[in-house]
Structure 1
Amino acid sequence: MQWETAIKDYLNYLKLERGLAENTLSNYRRDVHKLAQFLRIEKDESEARKSYLAGPLQIDRIQIEAFNHSLAETLHPRSQARILSALRGFFDYLLFEGYRQDNPMELIASPKIGRKLPDTLSVAEIDQLLRAIDRSTPEGERNRAMLETLYGCGLRVSELLELRLSDLYFDEGFLKVTGKGNKQRFVPVGSHNQQCIELYRREVRPHFKPVKAFSDHLFLNRRGKSLSRAMVFEVVKRLREKAGIRKKVSPHTFRHSFATHLLENGADIRAIQQMLGHESITTTEIYMHVDRSHLSDILQRFHPRKGFDS
């Protein structure tokens, strides 16, 4: 089995069995290709060259260690860890399908990277960004509705772009969101957020003249088609510059800010987990480390020994 065949089969498995999105599949493809590319260009190393020509069924731990060493010399530990994780999954698949008898990644240690705290905006900075939108244009009203939804519902940018008109359940106060692995969840949407979306849907969206294939998509570009991720990133970048905010801001920053602000105001972390669509509570717990300033206040307010004087 050659590399291209093995990678293609693996990606089909991820798509059909795990329902991964195209962007995620592209990342897996790129990461596994890095190993194949490493073996292919090592022309002076006859053993590595043989391993490439033999395909992924013959590669062993020695070649993996050499590849890992090259990653450590050129990449940030977080990027290195991501590639090693992708390769573990790839070789686990070959093992599961009976193509290999072992996983050569088994004894390969990933670098210690710790947890990266997410970038967040304050409530004042969120307002500052939203005020920077020029609402005199159709694009401005659309952008306002998009950013209010990113922050108001804590959506990923891919989830925002996949929203359909048929996903709006405003009478019940929810949006139906399609997340990672095509898993659907219902996310509450506040009255202010609903008003922004309704204004865009009724007064602005018809001016974009939806193409038939995108007639149910909520957010459209000027050609009546679905917006791209790059376009949303560009919108946020321009607004950050216009608002004079020096922090690094991306569409995902609104999601982080959503979770952080809810937690700071006393929301239950498991409720936040459900709204964000995290499978594991440990993923949501990272927000516990963002701002601890309110914790002493919670202790003073709720501990049975508050004000106890010996």
Structure 2
Amino acid sequence: MKGPALKLDPWIEGYLSYLQEVKQLTANSVKDTRCTLRKVDQYLNHHRPGQPLWRRPLEDFLGWLSFAREQGYRETGLAKDLSHVRGFLEYSFRSGRCERNVLDGFSLQDQLPVQVPQILNLEEAERLVKAQTHQPAPERHRRLVILLLYGCGFRTAELCGLDVGDVNIERQEIFVRKGKGGYQRYVPVPGGVWVELLAYLSERKGKRGALFRTEAKACRLQNPRVGEIVREAVRRAGLEDWVTPKTLRHTFGSHLMDRGVDVGVISKLMGHRSPAETGVYLHVLPGKKEQAVQHLKLQEKPQ
């Protein structure tokens, strides 16, 4: 049994409370931030004592980054940690605890290699959907899970966090109130998926609570079970076993981009913090950027 989290400096604890109560970040997001601030603070207090975390010069944080790299930390993990510390320093600066945010504008993102996500092509996505049957009811419900992951681009935790009340019948959309990083958004539902969602709601017992429940105990669906549903669906469709719920989300974004949907629109649909995150799908579609520039009419007319 785990004990309570170790208390940090009261100012840092206040920031974590702010994230939870005001920004309404998820418990896991707050936990990740706590872990980052604790390890950075402990390192700096041991190697460069004398200053609270929010008054450290840039050189101190560069020293920590150098140490972390020597310990084998991956660049992606360091970029995430740096984001946590930058957010804390920005909060401290705006609250008057320090003269400036020394990490403002400092980022590792430009140094990171692009991680190209694996996706399904259109034929594979169609096979996956068609492999899910409409009968009996449990099979139909699992089919809807697949449809929402691929048709709406939900993260697994977002899907599990949906309530019946989040489905807006009049507007044909779903409200994601528990998005990553506390971001909320409305996601329109494609026509074919909407029909099956309405049928599911009409036969579902109870008009409140979790949208998806387990079959055995009628508890809210959890992430591991969604993974099991996708693995079973992949097996039925005869696809490779690398396909996960996240693969369906990546496929959603990539297929929208392939159809010419504006990257800003895709960014909002997927709950990305900025279109820069969405740009990774350009790397999945060979020739897409080259095709785009061909739309420019630069050839001069013959005299």
User: Equivalents in 1 of 2:297, 2:100: separation in Å?
Assistant: 55
In the alignment, structure 2 segments of 5+ residues that lack a partner are 1-6
SS of structure 1 residue aligned to 2:187: strand
Q: 2:64 aligns with which of 57, 67, 71?
A: 67
1:123 Cα offset (Å): 1.8
Seen in structure 2, the aligned counterparts of structure 1 residues 193 and 228 have a Cα distance that, compared at 3 Å, is: same
User: Equivalents in 2 of 1:69, 1:259: separation in Å?
Assistant: 35
Q: Deviations over 1:174-232 (max 9, x none)?
A: 333334565544322122101222333334x33xxx6xxx9332111232232222332
Q: 1:259 aligns with which of 229, 240, 253?
A: 253
Seen in structure 2, the aligned counterparts of structure 1 residues 276 and 14 have a Cα distance that, compared at 3 Å, is: same
Structure 2 counterpart of 1:190: 190
- 1:162 matched to 2:161: yes
Please, which moves more after superposition, 67-76 or 29-38? 29-38
Q: Is the 8 A contact 2:231 2:241 kept in 1?
A: no
Seen in structure 2, the aligned counterparts of structure 1 residues 175 and 102 have a Cα distance that, compared at 3 Å, is: closer
Structure 1 counterpart of 2:149: 150
Structure 1 counterpart of 2:173: 174
**What letter is aligned with 2:88?**
F
SS of structure 1 residue aligned to 2:240: coil
Structure 2 counterpart of 1:281: 275
Structure 1 counterpart of 2:3: none
Structure 2 counterpart of 1:89: 87
1:77 Cα offset (Å): 0.9
**What letter is aligned with 2:210?**
H
SS of structure 2 residue aligned to 1:142: helix
User: Equivalents in 2 of 1:118, 1:299: separation in Å?
Assistant: 24
1:168 Cα offset (Å): 2.5
SS of structure 2 residue aligned to 1:3: coil
- 1:245 matched to 2:239: yes
Q: 2:26 aligns with which of 18, 21, 24?
A: 21
User: Equivalents in 2 of 1:268, 1:100: separation in Å?
Assistant: 40
Structure 2 counterpart of 1:290: 284
Structure 2 counterpart of 1:217: 210
Seen in structure 2, the aligned counterparts of structure 1 residues 142 and 33 have a Cα distance that, compared at 3 Å, is: farther
Structure 2 counterpart of 1:127: 126
Number of aligned residue pairs: 292
Seen in structure 2, the aligned counterparts of structure 1 residues 131 and 107 have a Cα distance that, compared at 3 Å, is: closer
Structure 1 counterpart of 2:4: none
Q: Deviations over 1:54-102 (max 9, x none)?
A: 7535755555344222211211111111112211222232333333445
Q: 1:11 aligns with which of 16, 41, 44?
A: 16
Seen in structure 2, the aligned counterparts of structure 1 residues 60 and 174 have a Cα distance that, compared at 3 Å, is: closer
Q: Is the 8 A contact 1:233 1:251 kept in 2?
A: yes
Seen in structure 2, the aligned counterparts of structure 1 residues 85 and 181 have a Cα distance that, compared at 3 Å, is: closer
1:272 Cα offset (Å): 2.6
1:143 Cα offset (Å): 2.0
Q: Is the 8 A contact 2:29 2:181 kept in 1?
A: no
Q: Is the 8 A contact 1:6 1:56 kept in 2?
A: no
User: Equivalents in 2 of 1:152, 1:81: separation in Å?
Assistant: 30
SS of structure 2 residue aligned to 1:176: strand
SS of structure 2 residue aligned to 1:187: strand
User: Equivalents in 1 of 2:106, 2:297: separation in Å?
Assistant: 49
1:248 Cα offset (Å): 3.3
Seen in structure 2, the aligned counterparts of structure 1 residues 297 and 36 have a Cα distance that, compared at 3 Å, is: closer
Q: Is the 8 A contact 2:76 2:112 kept in 1?
A: yes
Please, which moves more after superposition, 24-33 or 136-145? 136-145
User: Equivalents in 2 of 1:36, 1:129: separation in Å?
Assistant: 47
In the alignment, structure 1 segments of 5+ residues that lack a partner are none
User: Equivalents in 2 of 1:60, 1:280: separation in Å?
Assistant: 28
SS of structure 1 residue aligned to 2:186: strand
User: Equivalents in 2 of 1:85, 1:8: separation in Å?
Assistant: 17
Identity value in percent: 26
Q: Is the 8 A contact 1:77 1:113 kept in 2?
A: yes
**What letter is aligned with 1:250?**
T
